[in-house]
Amino acid sequence: MDSRGWDLRYAGSELVWTAEPNRFLAAEVADLPPGRALDVACGEGRNAVWLAQRGWQVTACDFSQVGLNKAERLAQERGAAVQWLLADVTAYVPAPAAFDLVAILYLHLEAPTMREVLRHAAAAVAPGGTLLVVGHDPTNIEEGHGGPQNPAILMAPDEIADALGDLAVERAERVRRPVASAGEDVYAIDALVRAVRAP
């Protein structure tokens, strides 16, 4: 979906997703001291705002101006300061070694493009910093619930890890996430990769 499509998806007054942070982000960064953070493809800003509320200096980028407008409103409501950047992540190259945390959550692009985004994201991690990538796993199509159904835009944990250059991978695994459904317990299967740059 292009930026116009996402503008349309975000056009309603309500948030498409909850205002609360992604569960995996909250768990994986809980032990990190606040520093400079980059939220790649931030959407409506829930994760960027949550990080800012916890003392992080956050830059958040997305190619949907409508999404960023909603993100700014959420930040104002919660008293959070975030630097919002209108940018297509397929062309955006963050400053190298500039961020203590880089987060890419549920960005799905065809593999060659996604590997390039991951390469730039990894290069943006400062010494001692962390990169967190979470997305729908390819097995989710057959074994999970919801999410994109196009295998060409889904990457397994090991494929993500292989694209991170000289970062040291601490976690690369499939994780299950409960999904709201009428009257039954269903789960999505996500790929989660956490990697760090040596101090």
pLDDT at 12: 55
Output the pLDDT for position 11: 53
Instruction: Give the tens place of pLDDT for each residue, 125-159.
Output: 999 999 999 999 999 999 999 889 999 999 999 99
CATH code at 42?
Answer: 3.40.50.150
Domain that holds residue 116: 3-196
Judge residue 161's burial from the number of C-beta atoms within 10 Å of its C-beta, 0-12 exposed, 13-18 middle, 19 or more buried: buried
H helical segments located in the chain: 3-9, 23-29, 46-53, 65-77, 111-123, 140-143, 157-162
- Residue numbers in the chain where pLDDT is lower than 50: 3, 5-7, 10, 16
pLDDT of 3: 46
The DSSP secondary-structure symbol of 14 reads S
Q: How many domains does the chain have?
A: 1
How much is the pLDDT for 184?
76
* pLDDT on residue 6: 44
Give me the pLDDT at residue 2, please.
53
Radius of gyration of the chain (CA): 16
